[in-house]
Amino acid sequence: MGNSWFQFQQFRIHQDRCAMKISTDAVLLGSLANAENPNQILDIGTGTGVIALMLAQRFPESKVTAVEIDPDAAEQAKENFQESKFSQRLEIFHGRIQDLPEKEKFDLIVSNPPFFPEHLKSKDSKRNKALHTDELSFEELINKTIQLLSSTGVFWVILPPRQMQDLELLAQKSGLYLFQKVRVKDQEDKPVHREIGGFEFQVRDKKEEILILKDQKLAYSSSYSSLLSGFLLGY
């Protein structure tokens, strides 16, 4: 996905000024994050804006606020929003999520957050912001989510399994509980490489499922293809 733009069925994403291009992680979170008729949606670390646009498409009555710290990515996401048919329901906030004013509560909050420790940094400062936890620690992410989430709202996040375990412990200590987890494998015989978790304030039995992206012939599985239906061209 290295093109300067990527065409979806209902919108186009330009990404030449974004450190992080469209990824499977973003598409998974945008298609799996769920809530019951959310009016206010928040996307923390929007990057290209793809997750915000997918949610605007999925929830036609919602207003989506997207937060992005990198100025070039924020400007490009804003342009992607303005060119879409959902533009009236999309808003960009350029800055840190820690500085987002608490004007309203959100029914659905999503994040594809940075998760690499400092010692793995590259020389690319933009990628470092997108990939490393310096600008947004898990503690800060959970604390701000709790401040902004409505009492019946849900928070969805995608992370590698080890980092999800860390986030789950922090969330539980703060009164935010995992109610659903989707464990993602590239193929059936491969290890789980991503987990998508849904959190809320109430405690209930946790549901877990496995999502396998490719079949034995390395084609997209029927489960993954059904998630892409309505978004990617050809699905």
**Tens digit of pLDDT for each residue in 93-111?**
999 999 999 889 999 999 9
Q: Point out the least confidently predicted range of 49-58, 179-188, 224-233.
A: 224-233
In this structure, is residue 131 part of a structural domain?
A: yes
In-domain check, residue 126 = yes
% of the chain exceeding 90 in pLDDT = 82
When comparing pLDDT for 123 and 132, which is higher? 123
Q: Is residue 133 part of a domain?
A: yes
Residue 180 has pLDDT above 50, yes or no: yes
Share of the chain above pLDDT 70, in %: 91
Q: How many domains does the chain have?
A: 1
Contact present, 22 and 1 (Cβ < 8 Å): yes
Q: Are 228 and 221 in contact (CB under 8 A)?
A: no
Structural domain boundaries, residue 162? 5-170+219-228
Average pLDDT over residues 110-125: 66
Q: How confident is the model at residue 114 (pLDDT cuts 50, 70, 90)?
A: confident
Task: Classify residue 180: in a domain, yes or no.
Answer: no
The DSSP result for 156-211, as a single string, is EEEE-HHHHHHHHHHHHHTT-EEEEEEEEESSTTSPEEEEEEEEESS--PPEEEEE
Over 50: is that where the pLDDT of 127 sits? no
**15 within a domain of the structure (yes/no):** yes
Q: Tell whether 196 is covered by a domain.
A: no
Is residue 199, in this structure, part of any structural domain at all? no
Q: Tell me the pLDDT band of 146, cut-offs 50, 70 and 90.
A: very high
CATH assignment at residue 122: 3.40.50.150
| pLDDT at residue 129 in the model | 47
User: Would residue 175 count as lying in a domain?
Assistant: no
Determine the pLDDT at residue 118: 54
